[in-house]
Amino acid sequence: MSGSAFLLAPLAALTGYAAGWLHFASLRRVARMITEGRLAAVGLQIGRLALLGLLLWVFARAGAAVLLAGAAGILVARARVTRGAR
């Protein structure tokens, strides 16, 4: 792992956690909007996916270690958010 990746990986993990938490926490709102028949839910869902995809793309451009750390942060956030939803 290069020096810059060594410094960026923990930052990517924290950023991934924050983005993952926002992404999965907003899922409840999107689901509620869909069941209410609100068309804005489609735009919100597309935005959620686009932002997370863009973040993963940025992580990938920084290197494999950064991508793995960021993705791990997202997965940890997913586990935390979904555990609270049960």
CA distance 22 to 14: 12
Region 21-47: what's the mean pLDDT? Answer: 94
pLDDT of residue 4: 79
Total structural domains in the chain?
Answer: 1
pTM for this prediction: 0.88
Residues of the domain holding 73? 3-85
pLDDT of residue 1: 63
3-class DSSP state for residue 63? Answer: coil
Output phi, psi for 66, to 5 deg. -65, -45
Region 2-6: what's the mean pLDDT? Answer: 75
Question: Over 90: is that where the pLDDT of 86 sits?
Answer: no
CA distance 24 to 15: 14
Which structure tokens are listed for 37? 């028949």
Region 21-48: what's the mean pLDDT? Answer: 94
In contact, 70 and 16? CB cutoff 8 Å:
yes
Mean model confidence pLDDT for the chain: 93
